[in-house]
Amino acid sequence: MVDVLVRRETIADRPRAASVSVRRDRGSQVLRWTRGHLGLAISGVVLVIAVGWAVAPSVFASGDPLIGVPAQKFQAPGAAHWFGTDNLGRDLYTRMVHGAGLSLTATLTAVGIALVVGSVLGLLSGAAGGLVDTAIMRVVDVLLSIPSLLLALALVTALGFGTRNVAVAVGVSLIANFARVMRSEALRVRHAPYVEAAHASGVRWYAVLVRHVLPNAFQPVLALAAVEFGMAVLAVSSLSFLGYGTKPPTPEWGSLISEGRNFLASAWWLTTLPGLVIVAVVLSAQRLGRFVGRTGTR
């Protein structure tokens, strides 16, 4: 009788032990993945914080970015002011947080313009071929022959000042990269058996592009968008640094560095800390973009 009870208890404990073992295995797998992708996890955290700054700046910094206390000017970074204060006593961390909205909005607009226009041009070029392909690619070659920052600078000079014009200029300068990648993917996919079967069954050419070619050619373009997001942050900040962005005293990442360069000898934090934030966002975006690209090619 005792042996029977012991066996019943042992059988009843087996599901519990199995569930505990499964949880331990899952926990160990998560821990191993985190250790192997520590840089990737840090990149994700950096981008989440940057997006949080842009979406809800008052949550991260409740102060007014335009009002300062003259008696507290040029205070070094500390507990009261994480990034220090500028020449007017304004909290630099607050200005960085509230400037993320304009900078990242311009960046997303630029990447969106380049993604949509470049993908359409590359898709038409790769799918049509012939004279259409030649004409589109020659225009793309011309755009690729000009450094993107120089092209953006020329465009924003023609369009005028303002964050919106900066976003358009940066977006146009990035179109050629997306067109090239999409064209190469469209050339790879258009001769696939399912695409030829769709053509043979009488499906219209534009329906074949939308239903079959585009979904199977878009993964590398999305990875490129993540990588180019970092470069667009750098380009938008560079144009803002040169004075083509929003007008002072509205904060913007590039203009904050520009304002602090006159005090570099006495207040290093005015340029160094905003620059480090931009570098962190750029590197994080490129790290995630490369990871998405590697995942998509497996």
pLDDT in tens, 94-109: 999 999 999 999 999 9
Could you tell me the two tokens for 152? 């953006």
pTM: 0.82
pLDDT at position 2 over 90: no
Q: Identify the band that residue 7 occupies on the pLDDT scale cut at 50, 70 and 90.
A: low
Longest dimension (CA), the chain: 94
- Alpha carbons within 13 angstroms on the beta-carbon side of residue 60 total 23
Quote the CA–CA distance of 244 and 72 in Å, as a whole number: 30
- Alpha carbons within 13 angstroms on the beta-carbon side of residue 68 total 21
Q: Is the dihedral of CA 167, 170, 172, 175 positive or negative?
A: negative
**Conformational region of residue 33, where left means phi above 0, alpha means psi within -120 to 50, and beta covers everything else:** alpha
pLDDT in tens, 242-261: 989 888 888 999 999 999 88
pLDDT at position 191 over 80: no
pLDDT (mean) for 66-92: 91
Spatial contact of 227 and 289, defined as CB atoms under 8 Å apart:
yes
pLDDT in tens, 203-215: 777 677 777 777 7
Specify the pLDDT at position 9.
Answer: 52
pLDDT at position 49 over 90: yes
Which position has the higher pLDDT, 22 or 156?
156
Would you tell me the crossing angle of helices 92-128 and 175-189 to the nearest 10 degrees?
Answer: 40
